[in-house]
Structure formats: C-alpha cells, structure tokens
Chains A and B, each alone.
Chain A
Amino acid sequence: MESQASGGTAFLYPERIDPDDPASDWVWTGYIDHADGTPDREPGFDAEAPRFDTDQEAISWALKRTPRVVIHDHDNVPYWAGSDPAPGDLLNLWSERP
C-alpha cells in the first residue's frame, strides 16, 4: 500500500468501547507520532486514529499515513505491521504472528 506521509510511526492497539467497562466489546484505535525511532525526530502527535472494528481496518488507515506501523495484540505484545522493513528492535511481524 502506498503511503501518503513520509515519516512518523503509527501505534495501534485494541481498547474497550467503554474503557471503564471491562465487559464491553473491543475496538481498534491508535495514533501517529512524529517519532521514527531515530534520535533526530522528536515525538509529537500527527494524528489520532478513529475506532475500527478490525485490526486490518486500523492497519490500512495507518499505512495510508506512514510506512512505520507498530500494532499491539490483546496481550499488548508489539508487532511490526509497516510497509518498511521491520526495524532491528522490533522483528515480530503482525502478518506472521501465531
């Protein structure tokens, strides 16, 4: 998928529809940060993600904005879902998770 932005990192994660209700359903959301994993780019918000029903919708939203995408599963284990090669400090791929 072609990215429309040249920098930053998307962080995606599941959250409850009502965060104060542990029994409510899960949705996917996140945000995009200026930071790109190098000391040269200071962090700061680029965009906040809407809520999505599925992880794939959230990833598609992120990839339209940056090739760097980190996504956490329901156990908060981080995976790489970017179109750039996985960075050396995060080699687990979302597409290959168990």
Chain B
Amino acid sequence: MTACSAMVPLVTRSGPWACYGSPIGRLQPQASSPNPVRLRESSTKYLYYATISYGINQTPVGEVFTRYVVTLNGRQIRASEFSIKRSAGPEATAKLGVTFQEVTAHGVSRWDTRDCGPSGHLGRSTYSCTKNSYAPADFDNFQVSFSFAWKPINEAHPNTVDGYWYTTEVSGRIDCRTGRTIPCQFPL
C-alpha cells in the first residue's frame, strides 16, 4: 500500500481508495495546508499543488498530479493553471471544475462556475481550466471562497477505480474592499 498522509473523501480500505501523497516540491514558511499544499506567494497569489494516489484493495494503480493558481488583479479573481496530469494507471474519465462561492452572514452560495478540461478519457497528459470572475461593482467587504474539483463523469462502480474518483476540493478566502488601491487581496 502506498503511504498516504491524508485521504480524499471517498476512501475505503477494503476496495477502491484514493489519497493525497506526501507533499512534493518546495515547501515555504507560508505553506498553510499540507494537502493539498497551499502557498500564499503574495497578497494576490495562492498556489496549490498535490499528488493523489489511487488503487484497489492492496494494489496501487496510479497517480494524478494536480495544481491550481488563484490570482487577484484589482477586483478580478482568476483561477488559472488549474491542471491535472495522469502519471500512470488505466484509462479513466474525468472533468475539471472551478466554482466561486460568495460568503455572507447567511452562508455560502454559488456565484460563478466553469466546468472544462478533458470531459472524457484522461490520458497521460496535462489538462487545464482557467476561469475569470469579477467582484461585483457595489462590493464592500465582499468575500468569496473557491473550490476545485476533478470528478468522474461515469456512474460510480465499485469494481473500478474510475468509478471512485471523486472530488478534490479546497477553499480559500478572498477579501475585497473599496478604498484601497488593490481591492481584492488574500488575508494574511
């Protein structure tokens, strides 16, 4: 069994499983979450990355590398370089999705979303999905969270790893305020 430091939500140990591998690459002081690794590179840039291993029973089947970048340009909120790459394993079907959600005192509501990427067989290649959104014109103290997902597009089936690929989701908060030169920034 491959070593896993954290699980993605679907995991069972008696059948198909998937889990985050150990963090790879650079780790800097401002890395705030171990899996996926989140780096706050500046007040206007977040970088996430992770490796996800998956398999059936005691057999590791393959790995997926995932990476996403969120940048802020004024009140533009951009998810880019949101990509996945298969490194091994049998064919699988998946698509990428980016969702922005507005955070209010009453809860979280979907605000803007895009599904893109392969939407089909996921070969051993890199796929990417970029999404731009803009904070509304009348914002002040506007807050948004965001999530990223790669998810199967076939019916789940207990005998295939493909059927148990699920959602890898992270979120981060963005704070938008009028009255400053760069209105939308990541909080410290």
Which A residues fall within an 8 A CB radius of B? Answer: 9, 11-13, 15-16, 19-22, 30-31, 33-35, 37-39, 41-45, 68, 70, 72, 75-78, 87, 89-90
User: How far is it, in angstroms, between the C-alpha of A76 and the C-alpha of B182 when the chains are bound?
Assistant: 12
**One of B42, B178, B181, B183 near A75 (C-beta < 8 A):** B42
The segment from B9-17, B25-33, B126-134 that touches chain A is: B126-134
Query: Beta-carbon contacts of B150-172 to A below 8 Å, as 1s and 0s?
Result: 00000000000000000000000
Select from chain A the residue with minimum beta-carbon distance to B136.
A43
A-B contacts, 29 listed (Cβ < 8 Å): A9-B74, A9-B181, A11-B73, A16-B80, A16-B130, A19-B80, A19-B128, A19-B130, A20-B129, A20-B130, A22-B81, A22-B126, A33-B74, A34-B137, A35-B74, A35-B183, A43-B74, A43-B75, A43-B183, A44-B137, A70-B74, A70-B182, A72-B73, A75-B42, A76-B42, A76-B45, A76-B71, A77-B45, A89-B182
Cα separation A13 to B80 with both chains bound (whole Å): 13
Query: Which residues from A are CB-within-8-Å of B83?
Result: 22
Q: Which residues of B contact A (CB under 8 A)?
A: 41-45, 71-76, 80-81, 83, 116, 126, 128-130, 135, 137-139, 178-183
Do most interface residues of chain B lie in helix, strand or loop, or is the interface mixed?
loop
In the complex, the answer to whether A11 meets B130 with C-beta atoms within 8 Å is no
* Chain B hits for A21, CB < 8 A: 128
Q: Which residue of B lies closest to A90 (CB)?
A: B181
State the 7 A-B residue pairs at the shortest beta-carbon distance, nearest first.
A11-B74, A19-B130, A76-B45, A39-B179, A44-B137, A76-B71, A37-B181
Chain B residue numbers with a CB within 8 Å of A72 are 44, 71, 73
State whether A76 and B137 are in contact (beta carbons under 8 Å apart), knowing that A9-B74, A42-B178 are contacts in the complex.
no
Closest chain A residue to B126 by CB distance? Answer: A22
Shortest C-beta distance, A52 to chain B (Å), equals: 15
